[in-house]
Amino acid sequence: MKRHNSLKVALIGLTIGIWVTAISQLRADAFAINFDNPTDLTDNFNGSSEASNSNSLAGGLNDTGSISIIHGGGGDTEVWTAKNGLVVNEGNVYSLSLYMYNGTDNSGFGGLGFAIADTNEIATMIAPNNSLGIVFHGGGGWFNNSNSIDGTAVEIPQWNDLGTDVPSDIWLKYTLTLTSLGGSDYDMSILIQDSDSTGTILSTLSSKTLSTDFSTIFTNTDVSSATTIHPYITTVGNRFTNADNYSASVVAAPEASAYSLLIIGGLALIIVVQHRKAAN
């Protein structure tokens, strides 16, 4: 009986160990910043050389902390890049979202994306070099592919089916998703939603995907060969006044070994169950 119990304990321990190892490979890394701390912006982001946006203790969702975006004189051109990078692997899915208050000035741009450096300047197509991302204005925008070979873009002529600009004087939530397709190929999608002052989503204004809406994907060897990629935010001109509730994440593609471990763990569990039945 002691031998049977020892075997059972060993098999249970093996099963738990195998599953814990497998599940650890099916991980998701994420971080979020609400800018309620006055140093959240500079603690977590590197600004471009002319960056002058600041971390305000008001102006955000529920009038909490936010990024206060400089206006006047045509507005500034800035890039804020996250110091924390997300690991690059084939099959990974990266997500970046930010609430931005769309003011009444119908002029300027905003952008989200992923760059290989943790400090960047605006380059071609209103985006950093060596990056993949989205640039948006009131009526449309473009998916941007900036690499060492060339810079390409896919224009989005209109955000919604109404043929009008996105609403002004309202909070908008932008969510960019970057999907590794293997090798150096990537798909991207953008989701734009309006919200009330608490961040509660009211409706979906637009949802666009490179592969399905434009029948194309991007190839970027700079991004695929990097160890990490860093989420970035761009603001140009006078369109936005504040930004809040930044979040970035990566869902790691499971390795083949993770599936193997899950199968082995399942077989070990079956052995434990069958052994118990035989013992009874």
**Which has more pLDDT, 96 or 26?**
96
* CB-CB contact of 95 with 177 (8 Å): yes
Q: Is residue 99's pLDDT more than 80?
A: yes
Quick: pLDDT tens for 184-215. Answer: 999 999 999 999 999 999 999 889 999 999 99
Helix 256-279 / helix 2-25 crossing angle, nearest 10 deg: 160
Which tokens sit at 221?
């060897």
- Nearest one of 181, 192, 179, 188 to 209, comparing CA atoms: 188
Relative to beta strand 218-219, strand 185-195 is: antiparallel
Distance CA 117, CA 134 (A): 17
Question: Is pLDDT larger for residue 25 or for residue 210?
Answer: 210
Beta carbons of 79 and 48 less than 8 angstroms apart? yes
Write out the two tokens for 244: 């809040």
Q: How far is CA 41 from CA 64, 182, 228, 270, in A?
A: 14, 33, 20, 52
Q: Give the mean pLDDT of the chain.
A: 82
- List, for residues 204-261, the tens digit of each pLDDT value: 988 999 999 999 999 999 999 999 999 999 988 888 899 999 999 999 865 544 444 4
Q: Which residue has the higher pLDDT, 253 or 30?
A: 30
Angle in degrees, CA 259, 249, 102, rounded to 5: 150
Q: Which residue type, as a one-letter code, is found at position 114? A: F
User: pTM (2 decimals)?
Assistant: 0.81
Q: Which of 64-68, 83-87, 273-277 has the lowest mean pLDDT?
A: 273-277
